[in-house]
Amino acid sequence: MHGLQKITIVLVLASATTGSVSSASTGSTGSPWASGRDLTPAQARLTVRDDLGRTVSLPARIGRIVSIQPEITRMIVSLGAGDRLIGIDYAIRSEDHLFGLIFPPGARLPVVSMSENNVNLEEVFRLKPDVIFASPFERQIVESLERKTSVPVLALASMGRFARQAEILTLVGRVLGREARAAELTTYFDAEIGRVREAVRDVPADARPRVFLSFWGVLTKTPIAYDPVATAGGINVAEKAMPDVLGAVNTLVSIERLIRWNPDIILVHGNYLPRDRKVTVEAVRTDPRLASVKAVKSGKVRYTFGFWNWWDMAEVTVETLYLANLFHPGKFPGFDLDREGNAIFKKFYGIDDGFSALCRILRCGEWSHD
């Protein structure tokens, strides 16, 4: 996996009469198209540096989008540009619990990719997209896709970091001419996350629970960085571990190491259908190898959401509030996860009771009793 680069964007306007090139700023709340400027696609391009450090030239007006990166697909919907999607990947169409709730028309979109390295080129040619959004994990695949289709491919992923999520949402908003909506959502996200940070700011280190996250269907597979835990006033015991692959966000540890860490809380990846969970809270609690671990002895093994096909800003905002209340319940009197979650989903996706619908699928209303 390649290291991620800071993203930049420049609007380049080509003169219709002289062919010269100049740059112009779009500003933070609008695009030049709002002023009535009527340039053709050949006369205007957006130049973007993506997460592979590639400089990608895009049409300044993007009306047709293929996205095989689920995180970006959800961002496009949150920006109010879901109607521009003309092709998506198999995972978000068939395996994602959230996408069908936030964007029902997605059920009718063509699937152009079964995996990151398996794209139906004929379907892409047929759809004639203006841009393809992809994951920045294999430069060769991204560049091959761009070369074979002659469509600009923008490789982006937040890697689960809050600052990157906001930065990428801002970029996608700029690319799609939805800057004002992107600014609205990033401001809201920052305020909600800031509310949690302020609530736990004065909690001393020795009062912050040490947390182990059992993710991706493997008991000892864990993220080495997890912003919801740190923001909510917890300590990720794996935060100094080496990743499995340079640039990755996860590592696989031994049972012995988990026992040595002796976490106060174990969080199990709950963002699977109950029947598909390969690791369950009950299995962790009854695992004889873990009988001496504090979290098991005290019964503090819980599900959490965890990211599913990368991140969703609405869901991760809810999760941060959920974890903060779990770690430090006295800081959040009267906390109601359902009410908070529905308000957040309403803000991002404009749907009523969206979080409650997701919770019915995941049965997260039962989590506190597991």
Give pLDDT tens digits along the chain (370 positions): 333 444 333 433 333 322 222 233 333 333 222 223 344 444 478 899 999 999 999 998 999 999 999 999 999 999 999 999 999 999 999 889 999 999 999 999 999 998 666 899 999 999 999 999 999 988 888 999 999 999 999 999 998 899 999 999 999 999 999 999 999 999 999 999 999 999 999 999 999 999 999 999 999 999 999 999 999 999 999 998 988 876 678 899 999 999 999 999 999 999 999 999 999 999 999 999 999 999 999 999 999 999 877 789 999 999 999 999 999 998 988 889 999 999 999 999 999 999 999 999 999 887 864 4
Here the CATH number for the domain that contains residue 51 is 3.40.50.1980
Domain identity same for 233 and 335: yes
Q: How far apart are CA 60 and CA 11, in angstroms?
A: 8
* Long-range contacts at 221-225 (CB < 8 A, ≥ 24 apart): 221/250, 221/251, 221/252, 222/250, 222/251, 222/252, 222/253, 223/160, 223/249, 223/250, 224/249, 224/250, 224/251, 225/160, 225/161, 225/249
Are 269 and 226 in contact, with CB atoms under 8 Å apart?
no
Q: Which two tokens stand for residue 192?
A: 């909600």
Chain mean position to CA 199:
24
Say whether 266 sits in a helix, a strand or coil.
Answer: strand
Q: Which amino acid is at 41?
A: P
Q: Is residue 177 part of a domain?
A: no
Q: Which amino acid is at 228?
A: P
Tracing tokens 């002796």 back to the chain, one arrives at: 262
Q: What is the pLDDT of residue 193?
A: 97
Q: Which residues pair with 21 in a beta bridge?
A: 14
Q: Is residue 208 part of a domain?
A: yes
Does some domain include residue 22? Answer: yes
Domain assignment present for residue 185? The answer is no
Closest CA to 234 of 261, 262, 270, 197: 197
**Boundary residue ending a domain (102, 132, 157):** 157
Residues 208 and 352 placed together within one structural domain of the fold: yes
Residue type, 31: S
| Domain annotation covers residue 187 | no
Beta bridge partners of 44: 13
Residues 32 and 125 in one domain: yes
Do residues 148 and 248 both lie within one domain? Answer: no
Co-location of 20 and 86 in the same domain: yes
Task: Residue 356: give the domain boundaries.
Answer: 203-369
Neighbours of 52 (CB within 10 A): 22
User: Does one domain contain both 216 and 81?
Assistant: no
Distance of CA 198 to the CA centre of its chain: 23
Q: Are residues 353 and 245 in the same domain?
A: yes
Answer yes or no: do 241 and 145 share one domain: no
Q: Which one of 124, 139, 157 terminates a domain?
A: 157
In a domain, 250, yes or no: yes
Is 86 within 8 Å of 296 (Cβ atoms)?
no
Residue 202, Cβ density class (10 Å: 0-12 exposed, 13-18 middle, ≥19 buried): exposed
| DSSP string covering 141-159 | HHHHHHHHH---EEE---T
Q: Are residues 139 and 277 in the same domain?
A: no
Residue at which a domain ends, from 87, 122, 157 = 157
For residues 254 and 247, what is the distance between their CA atoms, to the nearest angstrom? 21
Give the pLDDT confidence score for residue 212 in this predicted structure. 98
Q: How many domains does the chain have?
A: 2
